[in-house]
Structure 1
Amino acid sequence: MAYEVIRAVTDSDAYANLLLPPRLARSGLAPNDAAFATELTYGTLRGLGFYDAVIAAASGRPVEKIDAPVLDALRLSAHQLLGMRVGAHAAVDQGVSLARANAGGGAGGFANAVLRRITSLDAAGWRAELLKGVTDPDERLAIEHSHPAWVVRALRQALAAEERVDELEALLNADNAAPRVSLALLPGLPHDDDAVEQPLAAATYSPVGAAAPAGDPARLAAVRHGTARVQDEGSQLAALALSRARPVQPGEHWLDLCAGPGGKAALLAAEAALGGATLTANELVPARAGLVRTALAPFDPAPPVLERDGAELAAEMPDAFDRIMLDAPCTGLGALRRRPEARWRKQPRDVPALTALQSRLLDGAITALKPGGVLAYVTCSPHLAETRFIVDDAVRRAGGKVQRLDTRAVLDGIARHPLDLPVGSNEGEGSHVQLWPHRHGTDAMFIQLLTKSAG
């Protein structure tokens, strides 16, 4: 099962977090076997850079020269040998069998030779071998923690902006750890003891969050009914920052501009309904729009879901919405724990196109915001080019018509426990919130609330 998912990830740009759970649900595997398959899949994808370097050294050839089906079998076995407590004989045998079954007998012999070479050193030994002659500190961290070097540099810069660069290794380690599973209990919908079969521990920060029990969250009736959702606490806080920035007035109109896959939209819809407001969701990609409709299905009536270019939609509706959520498309560097393959897909050359899109969407959202309304600019990335710089440029272009709201103060009034946030001293600093996996146990969400003046 792990091999099939990894083949789909590497061959078809699929996402493991979308493929693996339904396969596990259909498999009937015992809980310990399901956990083993999960670690095989996600652990291999998290460590892909390190394992590819080991495989290249052990085989004497670049991984690009190895047939893809064989390479994925080697990656799985490398993770078992270097990242899990699997017996060497079993790990080698499985890798050889997978290579032979998917690429023929010659591939099996090749896999056997490579894997036996890999068994000559443990993980620490291979890291030491690969680090020989590497002097650049970010290149060394990239090898040690299996991140692309450009991602290490971007994370270093983001932490340095908070004068916390000494936390870089802790952040990289957090990216490689399995994240805890959090639930959002949608306000106003039934998820009491009749719907949730066992008491749930409250989340650390989110007032609507809970820690998911061990095992498949879908075992809970509230999750199956859609009144509770698997959702990272950072995403919950981003939605609540918008919905609870100020009291809701009946009749308000809200917009989720880039709503896919629908987690924030569902929480916003629940919050809007409680206050007598209405939500419109928009998502350009049809498949993701379908996921938004599914997420909003428990509401009666379900909020409408449009399929429009977000910037064009917003520009056509000036001063139309009291609150707007812009969860902008981004590199996703803040969610590498949950989407481990994302770190290997993005390249530095992708950032300019994304920042241009983010700026275009934010300008459109500002146009669509009513004077005195609230706009949340959110990214699941701490990259400065996608966060602070985007907001700075948008505020500058608005020429005094847009002001930052004190997002930190809003979230301090929402969170169950204080968020450990740096104190900003320059203009605009301290008004945003940057969450971190190693510090808050959430995805690295960036949240900035904005408002627009009249005229």
Structure 2
Amino acid sequence: MTRPAHLRDKPVDAARAVARDVLRAVRERDSYANLVLPRLLRERHVTGRDAAFATELAYGTCRAAGVLDEVIAAAARRPVAEIDPTLLDVLRLGTYQLLRTRVGSHAAVSTSVDLVRSEAGQGPAGFCNAVLRKVSQRDDDMWTDELAPPIGEDLVGHLAFRYAHPRWIAEVFADALSTPQRRVGAGELQAALAADDDRPAVHLVARPGLITADELAAVTGGEVGRWSPYCVYLPGGDPGELEAVREHMAGVQDEGSQLVARALSLAPLDGPDTGRWLDLCAGPGGKAALLGALADIDLAHVDAVEPAEHRADLIRQATDGLPVTVHVADGRDSGLTPGYDRILVDAPCTGLGSLRRRPEARWRRTPDDVAPLVTLQRELLTAALGLLRPGGALIYSTCSPHPAETRGVVEAVVAETGAQLLDARPLVGVESGDGPLEGTVQLWPHRHGTDAMFLALLTVPVPDSAHGPS
């Protein structure tokens, strides 16, 4: 839409304009909202309460996009595919304000109309006004009752709509939370989807050897984490503005990811630790940085593997000054010499466990994404076992609770390679964290306040002859 000349100087709400432009970048360029938003806030000097409002609008609208589209389609009486995409961005933004914020109806509608009018003129603005006024006639619960599957007929579908998830993802959560003896109850599935739909707190990691979690909490006003000894929960604000983050004494990292890296450093070995550690899927570098800090304390060295050069650069930046060597290679055929004491395989995955931190991701993923990733995960885990010395420790992790990416991969590779599955639970120390296989760990936002990380501990058994005569 081209902005008419007589409207080019008409001011629009700065926070809402930023949120609209984030939605546009996500739609047009497949951008990541959490990368686009901070840049726009800085460029346009949007700060304080306006920045917080823009953040809530951008992330919240991205999270709820699929449900918002159903409401808009009902109110407009046409499929959203027939609505101009730039107009649809604003309709989503306005509908989110009407249904999921405390913004008054008049403000939500009028500011949305202003955004459209400033670019496209009166005709599209009138359409926007009509649709949003129709949306405003019902609240969120009323639209859910009208559009969601009846709860008595399709519990999963109803909860998926209410908490803004594609139905297939809600079904994955239900499967992952179930046991062979019992299907997950409605209450826990609701809690899992609700927690995944909330905006999460920022988690900081205190780099071991440079700053403690207590010190980091004191200088940031945060709270020491519940599970990881390096974690601090940040109450608000831009973590990039913190001196500890700027000085590389701390970073932004979900507490579940911290537990994965720490578990590898704590895993028992059969035989001495010679200091050869490997992060086989290291990009963009968060876990490699924590492993590098732990390796620095333990006088070990980390090899970090990443196939993409630009992501390898991110690892180098994250691990600057630490005993980490970055290798640009495919982890399935890295060319590294076998014999590693400790290996982390944080495999590429669907990311279904971190949807709350990647607001647009839930509407980008499809069930067809799973099978190719499972093949890649099995190949990476098999290759890693070939690099592990007998008696060494290997952590396989995914930021996904999908049974095919967790239990399915581990069971298949153990059966094919003869690797041994060990008990990872003591290395993590969380309550109610039992995974889908004996000894594995599955974290959940609604149980632990972390991303839904899965981890398993494996080893290559030491031949009996290596232990000598009994």
Higher-Rg member (1/2) = 2
Deviation at 1:443, TM superposition (A): 0.2
**TM-superposed deviation, 1:93:** 1.7
CA contact 1:250–1:276 (8 Å) conserved in 2: no
Give ranges in structure 1 of 5+ residues lacking alignment. 413-417
1:365 aligned to 360, 384, 394, which one? 384
Matched, 1:421 2:440: no
Opposite residue 219 of structure 2, the aligned amino acid is E
Flag the 1:6–1:199 CA change in 2: closer, same or farther, 3 A: closer
| Aligned-partner Cα distance in 2 for 1:109–1:305 | 56
Pairing of 1:52-91 with structure 2 (within 5 A): 52-91=69-108
One-letter code aligned to 1:259: A
Deviation at 1:213, TM superposition (A): 4.0
* Distance in 1 separating the partners of 2:437 and 2:420: 13
Q: Which amino acid aligns with 1:421?
A: G
Q: Is the 8 A contact 2:255 2:450 kept in 1?
A: yes
- C-alpha distance in structure 2 between counterparts of 1:334 and 1:296, whole Å: 25
Q: Does 1:268 align with 2:291?
A: yes
In structure 2, the partner of 1:415 is none
Q: Name the amino acid aligned to 2:312.
A: A
1:102 Cα deviation from its structure 2 partner: 3.8
Distance in 2 between the 1:170 and 1:329 partners? 26
For residues 272-291 of structure 1, give each alpha carbon's deviation from its aligned partner in whole angstroms, at most 9, with x where no partner exists. Answer: 11101101111122332222
Is residue 368 of structure 2 the alignment partner of residue 349 of structure 1?
yes
For 1:132 and 1:195, locate their aligned partners in 2 and report how far apart those are by CA, in whole Å.
45
**Secondary structure in structure 2 of the residue aligned to 1:322:** strand
Change (3 A) 1:236 1:193: closer
Report the equivalent of 1:98.
115
- Residues 250, 275 of structure 1: 8 Å contact kept: no
> Displacement of 1:133 after TM fit?
6.3
- For 2:13, the equivalent position in structure 1 comes to none
Q: Which residue of structure 2 lines up, in the alignment, with residue 325 of structure 1?
A: 344
SS across alignment from 1:443 = coil
The answer to whether the 8 Å contact 2:305/2:327 transfers is: yes
CA deviations 1:323-361 (Å, max 9, x no partner) are 111111111110111012111011011111111111111
**2:266 equivalent among 226, 244, 253:** 244
Alpha carbons 1:321, 1:370 under 8 Å: kept: yes
1:171 corresponds, among 172, 192, 195, to 192
Q: Which amino acid aligns with 1:281?
A: A
Counterpart code for 2:80: V
Asked if the contact 1:272/1:278 (under 8 Å) is kept, the reply is: yes
What TM-score, normalized to structure 1? 0.91
Matches within 5 A, 1:196-235: 197-198=219-220, 200-235=222-257
Shift of 1:421: 2.9
How far 1:228 moved relative to its partner?
Answer: 0.4
Determine the C-alpha separation between the residues in 2 that align with 1:75 and 1:335.
23
Inter-partner Cα distance in structure 2 for 1:70 and 1:194: 44
Counterpart in 1 of 2:21?
4
Q: Which AA in structure 2 matches 1:430?
A: E
Give the structure-2-normalised TM-score.
Answer: 0.89
Question: Which amino acid in structure 2 is aligned with residue 38 of structure 1?
Answer: T
Residue aligning to 2:442 = 434
Letter in 1 for 2:318: A
| Partner SS, residue 236 of structure 2 | coil
1:189 partnered with 2:197: no
Q: CA RMSD in A?
A: 2.2
**1:290 paired residue number:** 313
Q: Indicate if the aligned counterparts of 2:150 and 2:158 stay in contact, CA closer than 8 A.
A: no
Contact kept? 2:221, 2:234, Cα under 8 Å: no
Alpha-carbon shift at residue 26 of structure 1 (Å): 4.5
Whole-Å separation in 2 of the counterparts to 1:352 and 1:91: 42
User: Which residue, 57, 62, 66 being the options, matches 1:40?
Assistant: 57
| Range with greater deviation from structure 2 (155-164 or 438-447) | 155-164
Distance 2:30 2:247 in 1: 30
When residues 388 and 318 of structure 1 are mapped into structure 2, their CA distance, relative to the original with a 3 A threshold, is farther
Look up the SS of the partner of 1:386 in the other structure: coil
Cα 1:339–1:132 shift into 2, 3 Å: closer
The size of the alignment, in residue pairs, is 440
Q: Over residues 126-160 of structure 1, what are the superposed CA-to-partner deviations in whole Å (9 max), with x where a residue is unaligned?
A: 11111366833222222211110110111100000
Distance in 1 separating the partners of 2:172 and 2:189:
10
- Say whether the 8 Å CA contact 2:312–2:328 is kept in structure 1: yes
| Secondary structure of residue in 1 paired with 2:372 | helix
Residue in 2 aligned with 1:450?
Answer: 458
- Which one is further off, 118-127 or 428-437? 428-437
Residue type of the alignment partner of 1:278: H
Residue 190 of structure 1: how far off its partner (Å): 4.5
Comparing 6-15 with 215-224, which one deviates more in the overlay? 215-224
2:205 maps to a residue whose letter is A
Cα distance in 1 for partners of 2:205, 2:85 equals 39
**Counterpart of 1:137?**
155
Deviations 1:346-382 (A, max 9, x none): 1011111111111111111111111111111000000
- The residue identity in structure 2 corresponding to 1:256 is D
Q: Give the SS at the match of 1:331.
A: coil
Structure 1 equivalent of residue 8 of structure 2? none
CA contact (8 A) 1:406 1:432 kept: yes
Counterpart secondary structure, 1:206: coil
1:32: Cα distance to partner?
A: 1.4
* Residue from 420, 435, 460 that aligns with 1:403: 420
